[in-house]
């Protein structure tokens, strides 16, 4: 299966200005290369048949006739080839010239798209040669229509629709691609001849990325190469493919050979995002869509697609620090507002010496700073139980001391033993009752202490735990405000590390040791060496896998099969296929059966594109069957 992926390519060409026959031969070479890589859509630059810089030669009969012959030659070349090719050429109609994109497929010209916005300022003089057209015109020579608003169906089954604009169309306040996408296009091709000067490349790149984000589409950009005339301008052959705000692939500029830039775009992902965004209402019939030329989109090996194994965590160090800084500010600002609104005397936080409670404490400290209050308004409570190790206990105590918060230690052992006697549970049986007794006892203490001191109880549970149901219902599942509830486990670590990096030496030392501690609820007794015996990931699986599944399932609704294929690509041998399939099934089952816990979680600040809040991003029946998902 292709799982909704579609392979596209943009090309800059080694061409000769005003030599359509030569240029067509170079385009054929690029077509052959694209077919070797199973590309299904190839986009070439603006006026790629003639060259963009022909100037007044566009008025010569010889050039126009040669251009027409080259277009027909290339159309014939696509016969029996499983690819759409988009080329640029001038077109004469009723005494006027039009700068057009020609869509070629199966030996024919499928559609002709004229440029809508002619550049006619600074170095550009396009209105000297070309006209604009708003109407639809039928061309007998090519047996197809010319229409600036026409879309082309590339794959009917997977709902892949192509819209086309040419160079300047992208740079105007209302690009045609915006309307194309509102009418159903999910791929935009731009045939361009954008010249180079200092800093323009980055601006062009941002235009392409931003338009793909605004339109929730893929944007395939092909720019004129260095082989254009250099009378006054130099072109670089910029090629790139963007998808929903991200540049998937970008070719080398200033190359003296033809460059082909290939990417696998995810149409299913784009279509799912549009289904969630009601600004997009498709109306294909208004644009005269035809289906007889659809390509066969075979299995896709994802050769030309990077799949991020950690979608919540930027790989670049600087970007990751900036992300952590922003998330930390969102968390602290949300908590500060809630404290201010309810008139709380401060906050209560249960401190275990683990990552989640550490982050909640750090956020609380930052919230006090925002409110101009002292850290002593924070009451940190450590509650050692049957599974507490010396390492986590000491880190909890030392961290509270280092941060200057009020601290208190309350052992839960005696209370839990008494409670198990009350409910007639044998404390030697280390089952779910044994574990949850501790979790609920801790929550009771925290709520009661919050009431006693007139403070707000801050929750510590994170997004990954909510997704997996790894929290005790009405135990650590509950609080008065959950600062970590939309922060995934893979990102919690980096948030703590971010604070450690900017903290004083003593605090940093404690935080780094917490970062080095295995993830555990510490509800079962330590091993014979006094070390953590209960390790979460040994029970429910690697959090990096579950966060990967969570992101792609909630955000895009992918099937189990597609999630597995993406995970194999993303983790590249770190997990075998059987491991991925096993933990994926665990994820799906736990995610579905745990919805009832998420239906009543406390308020929490949204920090990213994936949230499981029942009041906003994720509304799911608590009793939905998972059978069709596994």
Query: From the CB of residue 30, how many other CB atoms can be counted at a distance below 10 Å?
Result: 22
Cβ pair 39, 262 in contact under 8 A: yes
Cβ pair 407, 353 in contact under 8 A: no
- Please give the full DSSP string across 388-444, using - where no structure is assigned: --HHHHHHHHHHHHHHT-EEEE---HHHHHHHHHHTT--TT--SHHHHHHHHHHHHH
Question: Bridge-partner residues for 409, per DSSP?
Answer: 382
Mark whether 115 is an active-site residue: yes
Tell me which of 26, 46, 168, 228 is the catalytic residue.
46
- Please give the full DSSP string across 353-399, using - where no structure is assigned: SSHHHHHHHHHHHHHHHHHT--GGGEEEEE---TT--HHHHHHHHHH
Tell me which of 54, 144, 153, 167 is the catalytic residue.
167
- Cα–Cα distances in Å, from 469 out to 281, 289, 552, 616? 36, 47, 18, 19
Q: 3-state SS of 104-173?
A: EECCEEEEEEECCCCCCCCCCCHHHCCCCCCCCEEECCCCEEECCCCCEEEECCCCEEEEEEECHHHHCC
Distance between terminal CA atoms of the chain? 17
* Six-digit token string for 507: 């605090």
Mark whether 167 is an active-site residue: yes
Q: At what angle do helices 560-571 and 577-593 cross, to 10 degrees?
A: 130
Burial 574-602 (b: 16+ CB within 10 A, else e): ebeeeebbebbbbbbebbbebbebbeebb
Query: From the CB of residue 200, how many other CB atoms can be counted at a distance below 10 Å?
Result: 13
Residue in 421, 424, 462, 457 with CA at minimum distance from that of residue 442: 457
Mark whether 455 is an active-site residue: no
Tell me which of 111, 115, 489, 562 is the catalytic residue.
115
Cβ pair 77, 49 in contact under 8 A: no
Cβ pair 229, 57 in contact under 8 A: no
d(Cα 525, Cα 528) in Å, to the nearest integer?
9
Active-site residue list: 46, 115, 167
């Amino acid at each position: 299966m292709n799982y909704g992926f579609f392979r596209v390519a943009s090309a800059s060409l080694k061409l000769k200005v005003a030599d359509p026959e030569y240029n067509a031969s170079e385009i054929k070479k690029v077509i052959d290369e694209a077919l070797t890589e199973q590309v299904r859509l190839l986009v070439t630059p603006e006026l790629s048949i003639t060259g963009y810089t022909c100037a007044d030669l566009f008025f010569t009969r010889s050039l126009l006739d040669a251009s027409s012959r080259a277009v027909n030659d290339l159309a014939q070349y696509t016969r029996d080839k499983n690819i759409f090719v988009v080329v640029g050429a001038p077109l004469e109609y009723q005494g006027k010239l039009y700068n057009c994109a020609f869509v070629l497929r199966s030996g024919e010209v499928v559609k002709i798209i004229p440029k809508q916005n002619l550049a006619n300022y600074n170095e550009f003089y396009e209105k000297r040669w070309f006209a604009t057209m708003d109407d639809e015109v039928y061309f007998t020579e090519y047996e197809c229509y010319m229409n600036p608003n026409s879309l082309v169906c590339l794959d009917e089954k997977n709902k892949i629709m192509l819209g086309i604009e040419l160079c300047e169309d992208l740079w105007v306040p209302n690009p045609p691609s915006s309307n194309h996408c509102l009418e159903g296009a999910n791929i935009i091709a731009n045939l361009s001849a954008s010249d180079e000067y200092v800093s323009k490349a980055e601006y062009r790149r941002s235009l392409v990325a931003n338009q793909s984000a605004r339109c929730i589409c893929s944007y395939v950009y092909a720019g004129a190469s260095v082989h254009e005339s250099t009378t006054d301008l130099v072109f670089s052959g910029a090629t790139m493919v963007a998808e929903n705000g991200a540049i998937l692939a970008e070719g080398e500029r200033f190359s003296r050979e033809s460059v082909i830039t290939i990417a696998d775009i995810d149409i299913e992902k784009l279509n799912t995002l549009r289904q969630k965004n009601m600004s997009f209402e498709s109306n294909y019939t208004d644009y005269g869509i035809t289906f007889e030329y659809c390509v066969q989109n075979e299995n896709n090996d994802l050769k030309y697609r990077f799949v991020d194994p950690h979608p919540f965590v930027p790989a670049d160090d600087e970007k990751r620090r900036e992300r952590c800084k922003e998330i930390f500010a969102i968390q602290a600002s949300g908590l500060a507002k809630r404290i201010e609104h309810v008139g709380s005397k401060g906050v209560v936080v249960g401190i275990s010496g683990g990552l989640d409670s550490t982050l909640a404490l750090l956020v609380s400290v930052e919230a006090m700073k925002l409110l101009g209050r002292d850290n002593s308004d924070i009451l940190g409570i450590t509650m050692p139980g049957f599974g507490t190790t010396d390492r986590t206990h000491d880190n909890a105590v030392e961290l509270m001391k280092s941060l200057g918060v009020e601290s208190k230690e309350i052992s839960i052992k005696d209370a839990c033993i008494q409670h198990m006697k009350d409910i007639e549970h044998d404390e030697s049986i280390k089952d779910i009752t044994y574990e949850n007794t501790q979790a609920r006892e801790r929550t009771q203490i925290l709520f009661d202490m919050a009431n006693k001191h007139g403070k707000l109880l801050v929750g510590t549970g994170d997004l990954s735990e909510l997704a997996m149901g790894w929290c005790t219902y009405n135990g650590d599942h509950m609080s008065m405000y959950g600062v970590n509830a939309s922060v995934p486990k893979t990102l919690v670590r980096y948030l703590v590390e971010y604070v450690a990096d900017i903290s004083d030496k003593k605090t940093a030392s404690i935080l780094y040791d917490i970062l080095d501690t295995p993830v555990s609820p510490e509800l079962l007794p330590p091993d014979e060496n006094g070390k953590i015996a209960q390790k979460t990931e040994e029970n429910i699986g690697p959090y990096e896998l579950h966060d990967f599944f969570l992101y792609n399932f909630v955000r895009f609704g992918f099937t189990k099969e597609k999630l597995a294929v993406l995970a194999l690509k993303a983790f590249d041998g770190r997990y075998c296929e059987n491991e991925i399939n096993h933990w994926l099934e665990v994820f799906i089952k736990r995610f579905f059966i745990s919805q009832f816990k998420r239906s009543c979680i406390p308020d929490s600040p949204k920090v990213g594109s994936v949230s499981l809040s029942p009041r906003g991003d994720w509304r799911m029946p608590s009793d939905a069957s998972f059978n069709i998902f596994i």
